[in-house]
Amino acid sequence: MSNFDPLNMQTEGAPPGALPEQGYSNPPAGAPTYEAAPNAAAAAGNEGLSLDTIMRIPVTVKIVLGSASMPVAALMKLGRGALIPLDRKLGEPVDVIVNGRVVARGEVVVMDDDPSRLGISLTEVVGPSGVENLP
């Protein structure tokens, strides 16, 4: 039996590129065979719905007004009417979070068409390398 070198994944004395120990040139009988995948660019061209499909993927959008930290004992004492001070002040921008990532910041506004509803007016968009201000 020849010596197998696990670092080179080659059997000593075997020609370069030979498979270790069993030296299969063809898959064993009954093993599944796979054909090469078609050219990805050609496949994408044939599927005219790839971008449209991506644009219809739902995402979760959350607006974070602020946060607070407190010991469990204080949390257990909270009741109806209790106030929890947040780490942000009135007028500071709120975070717009999509799928767990901050993507923008904005200010809370009252909707014109329904004064009982709130909305967010974006003031800055957070890019991958920092923040870009909206015009």
pLDDT band at 135 (very low <50, low <70, confident <90, very high): very low
Cα–Cα distance, 65 to 59 (Å, whole number): 19
Tell me the HSE value of 51 on the side-chain side, using a 13 A CA sphere: 3
Q: Flag the least confident range among 35-44, 74-83, 104-113.
A: 35-44
Query: Is-contact 26 18, C-beta < 8 A?
Result: no
- Does this model's pTM top 0.85? My answer is no
- In the chain the domains, ranked by start, together with CATH numbers, are 88-128 (2.30.330.10)
Name the helix (H) or strand (E) containing 45: helix 40-46
Work out the percent of the chain whose per-residue pLDDT is above 70: 59
**Which amino acid is located at 110 in the chain?**
V
pLDDT band at 21 (very low <50, low <70, confident <90, very high): very low
pLDDT tens digit string along 58-72?
999 999 999 999 999
Query: Is-contact 132 124, C-beta < 8 A?
Result: yes
Please determine, for residue 1, whether its predicted confidence score (pLDDT) is greater than 50: no
pLDDT band at 127 (very low <50, low <70, confident <90, very high): confident
